[in-house]
C-alpha cells in the first residue's frame, strides 16, 4: 500500500510541476480538433446524405468551434465533388445549404459545376453512341448480325477507356478552378 501511495504522491508532484499551456497552443489544439470533427462529419454525411442528421450534429457546437467545424466540413465536401457525379454534387449542395443556412453566395458556383457535369455527361453519352455505331458497323462487316448482337458494350473497349480517361481529365481541369472558387467563397462566410 505504501508503494501505491508513493507512486500517487510522485504523480501528484509531477502534475503540480506541469505548467499550464499557453493560450495560443490551446487555441491551436481546439482548431485542429474542430477541423477533424468537421472533416469526419463531412465523410459521414457523404455516406448517409441525411441533412437532418447534419443539422442535428451542427447544433452541438457554438461560437468559434462551430465556425471551424463548418469550414472544415465545407472544404471536405467540396473536395469530394467528382467529375460526372451528379448525385454527389446534389448532396454537397444540400449540405452546404444546411451548413450556411441557405445563403446563396455559393449557389452560383454550384450551378456552374452542375452545367459542367451536364456537358460532360452529354459528351460522354455521345461518345458511347458513336462507339456503339462503329461497333455495329464492324460486326456487320464481319457478317455478324441479328440475335447474335444484343448490345455493344463500349466500356469493354480499350480505346473507349482511354477516351473516357482523357475526357474526365480535361473536365477535372475545368472543375478544379470552380472548386477552388467555391472554397474561397465559403471561407468568406
Q: What is the pLDDT of residues 122-143, one digit of tens each?
A: 998 898 888 777 777 777 777 6
Q: What is the pLDDT of residues 57-84, one digit of tens each?
A: 889 989 999 999 999 999 999 999 998 8
CA 101 to chain centroid, in Å, comes to 19
- Domain ranges in the chain? 1-80, 104-189
Cell triple for 135:
461497333
Helices 63-79 + 51-58 axis angle, to 10 = 150
- 112 with 178: CB under 8 angstroms? yes
Separation of first and last alpha carbons in the chain: 59
62-63-67 Cα angle (round to 5): 95
Q: Cβ of 177: how many Cβ atoms within 10 Å?
A: 10
Amino acid at each position: 500500500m505504501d508503494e501505491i501511495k508513493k507512486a500517487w504522491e510522485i504523480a501528484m508532484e509531477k502534475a503540480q510541476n506541469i505548467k499550464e499551456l499557453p493560450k495560443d497552443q490551446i487555441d491551436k489544439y481546439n482548431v485542429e480538433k474542430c477541423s477533424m470533427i468537421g472533416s469526419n462529419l463531412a465523410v459521414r454525411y457523404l455516406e448517409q446524405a441525411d441533412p437532418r442528421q447534419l443539422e442535428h450534429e451542427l447544433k452541438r457546437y457554438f461560437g468559434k468551434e462551430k465556425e471551424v467545424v463548418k469550414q472544415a466540413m465545407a472544404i471536405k465536401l467540396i473536395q469530394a465533388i467528382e467529375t460526372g457525379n451528379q448525385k454527389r454534387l446534389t448532396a454537397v449542395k444540400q449540405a452546404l445549404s444546411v451548413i450556411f443556412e441557405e445563403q446563396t453566395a455559393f449557389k452560383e458556383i454550384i450551378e456552374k459545376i452542375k452545367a459542367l457535369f451536364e456537358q460532360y455527361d452529354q459528351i460522354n453519352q455521345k461518345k458511347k453512341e458513336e462507339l456503339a455505331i462503329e461497333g455495329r458497323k464492324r460486326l456487320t462487316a464481319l457478317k455478324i448480325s441479328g440475335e447474335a448482337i444484343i448490345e455493344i458494350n463500349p466500356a469493354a473497349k480499350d480505346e473507349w477507356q482511354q477516351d473516357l480517361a482523357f475526357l474526365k481529365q480535361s473536365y477535372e481541369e475545368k472543375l478544379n478552378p470552380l472548386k477552388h472558387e467555391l472554397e474561397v467563397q465559403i471561407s468568406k462566410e
